Amino acid sequence: MYQVFARPLIPSVLRQGTKSSLTRCTFATSSRLWKDHSVGSQKYIDYTEKYLHKLEKMAEKQGITVEELVKRNNEKAERERKEQAERRAQLDKTTHTAARGYASEDIELEEDSTGGESSTRKRKPAPRTPTRKDSSPVKPLSTILNLDRLLSDVHTPEQVTGLWNAYHASRSQGTGRGYLSASIPVAAYEKMISVAQPYKNFILPLSREDAQVPETDNPVNQTPVEFFYMQWDFYGSPPDPTPSENPFAPPTPSPSLPPTSTILFTPLAEYQRHGTFATPHLVITHYTDLASSHGLVLLRGEITPIGGQLGGAAGASYHLSQHHAQALAVGVQRFYLWNDRSNQPENLLKTFHEKPEEFKWEELLRLSDPTS
């Protein structure tokens, strides 16, 4: 056993290190948060001697003044910006509508209870896709996605990823707040869990720019950091999602699928006080149902609402922002998805478990720096 101590918030040390190579997952939380606002924007036109001569020649060629030329260009840029914004909004609407069509019946009923579009939607026939009946606390993927519909037609991995991310971006009345989503290549997931199975626990630092730091005589000009205790759990392989020829056959785990897993993230200070009774602020679930059919593991992150509020409800507040939740998810990759170019995260994770007396917080902060 090892004993760790950390204040809930501490100043981070100066960060050093070289750029490391990581296999990144693409996360989607809210279309509003992740849109590229640079598209279609018009930069300020510099009225210096460097451009004046060219502007005069262009204006003379069109038989107008420089001021009129600039005005026309600005108006054209504004029209293009509005057209692109309209096309983007229509694309988002179409994608979200398509994703809703793949939502399971359970999710539709759940949405109704939290203020969805309709509270009188009729129950659909039960899906034929096998659903695990063991004691796993993980919500089956078939209660989130309509796997019958998904598997009844050919979908590329990219299309499945798009539907998964668009579905989560449409949650919480279209804001996506309270959720993360991503798709992970099977090879990367299997590599990650091969490390996680012997090393299930770790500590991840999270920069908290929004933290209230008490004033002191010697202020430290650094971002406060909160430590999170993370814990992996495994629940065996899910049943093969392909509908069985015998509808009465009980679902059995498929040996060809990797195990389903979860990661709980709890503030270290709370975990030290309450142990396993502490409330996690983020729960990540890895769904492996489509690992064989599409080569993907679907990641779903659920951020805990504050004060027992209903997740996804309008106006709900959460313990973590989308940005902070994503930072924790990426931190898992940094320490559990080892690469051949740098063994420093690997060594630190091993030290945490095998030689806790040699574990250094400063090294953890340095290696957790996204710029290192």
Does some domain include residue 260?
Answer: yes
- The reply to whether 45 falls in a domain is no
Please indicate, yes or no, whether the overall pTM of this predicted structure exceeds 0.75: no
Assess if residue 127 is contained within a domain.
yes
Which amino acid is located at 286 in the chain? H
Task: Write down the pLDDT at residue 137.
Answer: 81
pLDDT of residue 366: 92
314-321 LR contacts (CB < 8 Å, sep 24+): 314/115, 314/172, 314/173, 316/172, 316/177, 316/178, 318/177, 318/178, 319/281, 319/282, 320/281, 320/282, 321/210
305 vs 307: CA distance, rounded Å: 7
Residue ranges of the chain with pLDDT lower than 70? 1-50, 87-136, 210-222, 243-253, 309-314, 340-341, 371-372
Residue 171 lies in a domain: yes
Question: Do the domain assignments include residue 112?
Answer: yes
8 A C-beta contact, residue 189 and residue 286:
yes
Q: Residue 52: inside a domain, yes or no?
A: no
Instruction: Please give the residue range of the domain that contains residue 242.
Output: 10-40+103-368
- The full DSSP string for 93-160 is HHHHHHHHTTB-HHHHHHHHHTT-S-S-PPPPPPP-S----SS--SPPGGGTB-HHHHHTS---HHHH
User: How does pLDDT run across 67-100, given as a tens digit for each residue?
Assistant: 888 888 888 888 888 877 776 666 555 555 555 6
pLDDT recorded at residue 223: 76
Residue 203 domain flag: yes
* Tally of domains in the chain: 1
The predicted pLDDT at position 279 comes to 93
The answer to whether position 57 is within a domain reads no
- Residue pair 333/233 in contact by the 8 Å Cβ criterion: no
